[in-house]
Chains A and B, each alone.
Chain A
Amino acid sequence: MPKLVIDDQEIEVPEGMTVLQAAEMLGIEIPIFCYHPKLSIAGNCRMCLVEMEKSPKPIASCAMPASEGMVIRTQTPMVKKARQGVLEFLLINHPLDCPICDQGGECDLQDITMAYGADSSRFEFNKRAVPDKEFGPLIETAMNRCIHCTRCIRFASEVAGVPELGATGRGEDMEIGTYIEKTITSELSGNMIDICPVGALTSKPYNFRGRSWELSGTPSIDVFDAVGCSIRIDTRGREVMRILPRQNDEVNEEWISDKSRFAYDGLKYQRLDRPYVRGKDGLLSPVTWDEAFLAITERLHHVPGDHVAAIVGDMADAEAMVVLKDLMTAIGSPHMDCRQDGSQVGEGPRCSYLFNTTIAGIERADFCLLVGTNPRWEAPLINARIRKNYLSTGLPIAMIGPSHDLGYPVNFLGNDPFILEKILKGRNPISSALKAAAFPMMIVGEEALRRKDGSIILSLARQIADKYGFVYKTKPQDHWNGFNVLHTAASRVGGLDLGFLPDPKGYTAKEILKAATRKKIEVVYLLGADEIDMSALKSTFVIYQGHHGDRGAAIADVILPGAAYTEKSGTYVNTEGRVQRGLKASSPPGEAKEDWKIIRALSEKLGIQLPYNTIEDVRSRLVKVNPLFDELDKVQRAKWVEFNKEGDLSPEPFKSIIENFYMTDSISRHSITMAKCTREILGREA
């Protein structure tokens, strides 16, 4: 542990830290452009120059490893002059268009110029002009503003795994670009906008729409996948203007996927802003809340409780789910399911449906086996973590299922579930590697779990985990559990934790649909469930509660307008089992209401009033149903207990579950930006 002195303060730092990081630990701020804590060190902007004793020249602190006995000064006249000089050179070719630049107000160059900039320019010649690039529907470029920090290049090749960007030419002719002008094909490309320290890369959908000081930010949780990224929702008035990541090293680091970032414009279209009831003419007509509730109560009074079923969708919050569960119990229905896709997971103990390794834990793994999953599309940030581990340790990754391009080399074992049996019997080439691995991990995805034999595959995976030591049982102090289930729905783990599952004699989502065609189920309550086979519900009385006029609303008999994730404070449990809460950033449109309130109001009309009046009441009910809802933002680890299901594997190969990353749910299906991505990045018709 080297000890060094920075500005007369002594500090001891871990081996391998840089002078800049050591200074940060002391709270000494050093201006930077090219340095980024999550990217490799480039050391090319020279803004972080500091003075080092016994060195004739200033040193770049971001690239200099802190070593024993160094004496660093960051506030001397020499440092100030050096930084002023660097900045003057950077500003030579930087246009003075801050008033029309989207980065204005949140620009590193602007801020640092306030500290080190001269009051006027000494440069009398023409500034250089660089043609703008076409990076696709998400990133707007203004390459004159580029200061060649190369953060975007490093991000693309390191984090995103799409080495498409580069710096071509040299000296004054240097430009950032692609080989052949093309759209960036990454699901994480929007993060380049965040890391660009100037206004060279800005958000295309947000272009010229607002200024950073007009917006108010609300911390929230992303619901487009089960990772539960920390996000900030920036609003102006009622309108969501943009969505940015919040730093959360345990989940999303500093990144979010393009869908999480850009699908917000879908919140403006096809919204359900008032209740509807389908009349005798077969058409939906707008009604008041009372009329809508009346239509439901009239129907429910003529239907026995066990002919009623409920299915919740992928974006439901835990509050709405627990209230709906209580309502169903009060009605006397055992038929409820939070797995609208028919995923065969969640009936067993908690460890059988969690991402037990945790997302940050991926970085410790030394072998990764993917079973029926495409993490690049199902959870881009988990994919980024796997890639991070691959880059730093060369993590070997093997894959069973359809072959997907994940952005890192994968040992593709084949698309055949029987490979799992072979691995279990030690008759697969990777068996020896698994045996040798100290921290092996496995991710079982929805491609496997949605199959008819999903639970059998899950049991097989567990047997493999037990045989090859994926879970440390004897060394509790060194916790390692390499058994993981990767969900795709933000609501899923919350639903499972609340037991939003059929009773022993209840139907699962698939059985509900089948029973509906046989009139065994007469009323179905859909809480934002749009990804089911609606044709089965033709003759069923469908209550659809949700925020978008999507598939579910199209066949509904009563529509109850709910709130989207930006419009309510909701609790979500991510695939790791981390309970997180998002705050309300804006209000629902028109007469739409927060979801738990709707169900609570309906219960009153049905004469089975549920015992809560405030969101706090609902949250204490959550804790009563499952105490782990009491602690936020922490992974609630599950104990490794037995689960097993005997049965025969189906020889059918695994099938991809996501056809189009950009359109997976009712919000992104109505987003114009996502439609553009589908067309321009995937080359398909939206």
Chain B
Amino acid sequence: MKKTPSKKHSEKTAPKEDFKTFAFSKENEEKIPEILKRYPEGRQASAILPLFELAQRQCGGWLPGSAIEKITEMLGLPIIRGYEVATFYTMFNLKPVGKYHLQICGTTPCMLRGSEDLKRVCKRFLGIECGETTEDGLFTLNEVECIGACVNAPVVQINDDYYEDLSEKSFLNILDNLSEGREAKPGSAISRQGSAPLKKEQS
């Protein structure tokens, strides 16, 4: 291994910015009317999901309480209704996450194809377990339920991209690239075309 493993970080990662008050950035502010327009008159509260997503992206992958408050208020809802939504959907992170959010699928097909091994890689190379963030703030590891790419199991979602057909080695390679600031190519690690069969003669 080229790099010494990063030390495990305590649960509370101090956010880099001050999230006590939240305001949409100028360009995101412009997107809001467009998002609201997607819903019929009087049903604007439905925009809560895309607006939460917009806020989460702006905040670097997590949704601070101040953003929940701001958006629910904006939609004319009681704050608890927004909090219910934010805690119901696992895709909203209520705690800060690292630059790379590793979401290892742990549902049956991926588990049978080695997702447990991938978790061990994280433990060994990054020193983190599920729900933890590395001290340098680069990686957060989480296990998620089926992300719908079982044919290419095991799958890890890193931020918006799927990394498929992983082995310990190829996953380690991806982590290495990312921690060195290089890019990692999404998609199948064994150059499989889409979800096509591996061997031609298979029916």
Contact = CB atoms under 8 A, between A and B. Distances in A.
Interface in A159-174: 163-170
A170 B80 contact: no
A166 B88 contact: no
Contacts, number: 25
A163 B83 CA distance: 12
A170 B87 contact: yes
Contacts of B148: none
B43 to A, nearest CB: 16
B78 A157 contact: yes
Contacts of B81: 163, 166
A168 B87 contact: yes
A125 interface: no
B87 A164 contact: no
Interface in A111-167: 157, 163-167
Interface string A265-276: 000000000000
B80 A179 contact: yes
B18 interface: no
A157 B79 CA distance: 12
B83 A168 contact: yes
A178 interface: yes
Contacts of A169: 87-88
Interface centre among B80, B83, B88 (most CB of A within 10 A): B80
Contacts of B201: none
Interface in B2-49: none
A170 B91 CA distance: 12
Contacts of A167: 84
Interface in B80-102: 80-81, 83-84, 87-88, 90
Nearest to B68: A179
Tell me what chain A mostly uses at the interface: helix, strand, loop, or mixed.
mixed
Contacts of B83: 166, 168, 179
Contact of A179 (B79, B88, B90): B79
Indicate the member of A164, A166, A170 with the most B CB atoms within 10 Å.
A166
Contacts of B90: 170
Contacts of A179: 79-80, 83
User: Is the interface on chain A under 10, 10 to 19, 20 to 34, or 35 or more residues?
Assistant: 10 to 19
A157 B81 CA distance: 10
Interface in A161-218: 163-170, 178-179
A165 B80 contact: yes
A324 to B, nearest CB: 49
B88 A170 contact: yes
Contacts of B84: 166-168
B78 A164 contact: yes
Contacts of B79: 179
Contacts of A170: 87-88, 90
B78 A163 contact: yes
A164 B83 CA distance: 11
Nearest to B89: A170
B59 to A, nearest CB: 19
A178 B80 CA distance: 7
B76 to A, nearest CB: 11
A164 B80 contact: yes
Contacts of A165: 80
A163 B80 contact: yes
A243 to B, nearest CB: 29
A170 B85 CA distance: 10
A168 B82 CA distance: 10
Residue of B79, B83, B84 ringed by the most chain A CB atoms within 10 A:
B84
Contacts of A178: 80
Interface in B114-156: none
A42 B159 CA distance: 36
Contacts of A157: 78
Contacts of B87: 168-170
A170 B145 CA distance: 13
A62 to B, nearest CB: 22
Interface of A: 157, 163-170, 178-179
25 contacts: A157-B78, A163-B78, A163-B80, A163-B81, A164-B78, A164-B80, A165-B80, A166-B80, A166-B81, A166-B83, A166-B84, A167-B84, A168-B83, A168-B84, A168-B87, A168-B88, A169-B87, A169-B88, A170-B87, A170-B88, A170-B90, A178-B80, A179-B79, A179-B80, A179-B83
Interface of B: 78-81, 83-84, 87-88, 90
Given A167-B84, A168-B88, A169-B88, 14 more contacts: A157-B78, A163-B78, A163-B80, A163-B81, A165-B80, A166-B80, A166-B83, A166-B84, A168-B83, A168-B84, A169-B87, A170-B87, A178-B80, A179-B79
